[in-house]
Structure 1
């Protein structure tokens, strides 16, 4: 299984890197959530705050810096706080997409140091429990025949990562993403309410957020947009790839630092995360916060980000979001 392999590899790598009982010496460590309290960036910082506690000489403080869905923080750490070795900033795949589409201004993914992951979530194709769609193939057939006949919705505007999931599905069905009937909502909660109320037929959400809703029996997952089938509690859900459609969407959550941070300060943070990855306690924090274990730090994450950004650029061009 995907998560089992990733988790095991991360534990081995982390165990070789640093004993779990070691502590990184960082003065007044801070995690900046570039949004208001209560959202995904807040959640990401809370994982650092709780998960790193045994591995840091001081507790991590969480502060909030809303503005531009991360743009204000990204610009600050590319101007006045480029060498701040005590601060890390939360990011997600949505942040990478904003960089690609120019929503973060002139700065690019090459201007900061990508530090570590907090975990991952994966896209999901969700319908009501009584939906006429029993499989992803049935939905894709309708996309191929008449993409405008299906109404999708999610908590993001056109060009957001939730919109991109729908665009990828249409593309895989041989249809144009520009023909998608997409309804944008302020958040996932509003989109789920619209799905249950019948205003939309398909919700392109994330699998991690679906646990309480699936238990209620009101919704079904047609497919998970992960590279391989997930472990429990999602083992029963097929991937889009299993159904014959090469559609994948990983929602990575993690942290970056200013581009001028010293190698020593950067490595102190990397060591703390690698030590945390090696423990059952960190995995428990990830699970509690609704994330799945995808653990990378340092050079491994840096290389992964570069590849992910290139993939996003390719997708954005195909979808007509950028030239």
Structure 2
């Protein structure tokens, strides 16, 4: 009897110890994932690949095991989104790359019935910003002149960019049209295959305004053929664009931040989610992260954890309202 009683006591102690370890593992600030991975929801190369490379480099000093980059192409991110919203929703070791374009796809329903509530957005990698560009000999000397033209004669200004109707580049023009008091569907818009094609047509006089990305203009900043009326950021950017005013400075409340970041499955533990959120928050403060971000052509945009998740959800709502007003979704 004494032997049985002693065995029972040992079993109880083991059970309590294991239960305590389980509880500790579930608390925020949990241990590093055993096999950290970043999922590229596309083929090798491109923006999503770049985003995962930033994560792998930025977290190198935090992770004991180097982050592996793997690929899951399909549907411009739709295949990965579906998996991490369903069958892979508990994978606490995996980050998935996304961009503002992914949010636009959610808003227009290209990811099926899945919404921004079906994953947990973890952290940003950096950002680019929209720009409103004209030729140096344009009739629009200031953004206010363009806005007045869009208000009084929406069809009299031809806007072009490297994306189809409903794309990110189209959104920038639609936001300007909306700020001028008009409807996005009243905008005269010309779609080109890429930003370079749009820039060429702007210089040649085939369009009046180019709504592109500020990073695309680095090679043209000293060319003398184009002028940036506004950058669609909250504050002025560093050189070589430090003298370009924001739209908000000029009384036009339009911001377009093209950010890149990461999400995880909806059902990951709080500990796993918080590990990555805290790791990025720590990395943001280092000069190494700033260097990595700049090398990949991105500007500072540092949000992690719940603040980033909430930001993404607000952006999806803004985009859905915008594309709905243009008749692109029901």
Alignment TM-score > 0.5, same fold:
yes
Matching residue within 246, 253, 257 for 2:260:
253
Matches within 5 A, 1:137-148: 137-148=144-155
Matches within 5 A, 1:67-146: 67-146=74-153
Q: TM-score, normalised by structure 1?
A: 0.86
Separation (CA, whole Å) in 2 of partners of 1:170 and 1:286: 32
Gaps of 5+ in 1: 1-22
- CA pair 94-62 structure 1, distance change in 2 beyond 3 A: same
Measured after TM superposition, the shift of residue 148 of structure 1 is: 1.8
Q: How many residues align?
A: 302
- CA pair 215-85 structure 1, distance change in 2 beyond 3 A: farther
Separation (CA, whole Å) in 2 of partners of 1:214 and 1:233: 8
Separation (CA, whole Å) in 2 of partners of 1:215 and 1:80: 51
1:48 matched residue in structure 2: 55
Q: If you compute each CA radius of gyration, which structure gives the higher value, 1 or 2?
A: 2
Separation (CA, whole Å) in 1 of partners of 2:225 and 2:33: 47
Measured after TM superposition, the shift of residue 24 of structure 1 is: 6.7
The answer to whether the Cα contact below 8 Å between 1:27 and 1:58 also exists between their aligned partners in 2 is yes
Separation (CA, whole Å) in 2 of partners of 1:257 and 1:264: 12
Separation (CA, whole Å) in 2 of partners of 1:36 and 1:183: 28
Secondary structure of 2:42's counterpart equals: coil
Matching residue within 199, 202, 208 for 2:215:
208
The answer to whether the Cα contact below 8 Å between 1:223 and 1:238 also exists between their aligned partners in 2 is yes
Secondary structure of 1:284's counterpart equals: helix
Secondary structure of 1:54's counterpart equals: coil
Is 1:301 equivalent to 2:308 in the alignment?
A: yes
Separation (CA, whole Å) in 1 of partners of 2:180 and 2:255: 14
Measured after TM superposition, the shift of residue 256 of structure 1 is: 0.3
The answer to whether the Cα contact below 8 Å between 1:225 and 1:240 also exists between their aligned partners in 2 is yes
1:267 matched residue in structure 2: 274
- CA pair 266-100 structure 1, distance change in 2 beyond 3 A: same
Runs of 4+ in 1 over 6 A off after TM superposition: none
1:11-47, CA deviations, whole angstroms, 9 ceiling, x for partnerless residues?
A: xxxxxxxxxxxx9723332222223333222221221
Matching residue within 198, 215, 226 for 1:219:
226
Secondary structure of 2:228's counterpart equals: strand
Matching residue within 199, 203, 208 for 1:196:
203
Gaps of 5+ in 2: 1-29
1:15 matched residue in structure 2: none
1:159 matched residue in structure 2: 166
Separation (CA, whole Å) in 1 of partners of 2:263 and 2:37: 12
- CA pair 27-196 structure 1, distance change in 2 beyond 3 A: farther
1:110-149, CA deviations, whole angstroms, 9 ceiling, x for partnerless residues?
A: 0101110001222111123343332212222222232222
Tell me whether 125-134 or 259-268 shows the greater mean CA deviation. 125-134
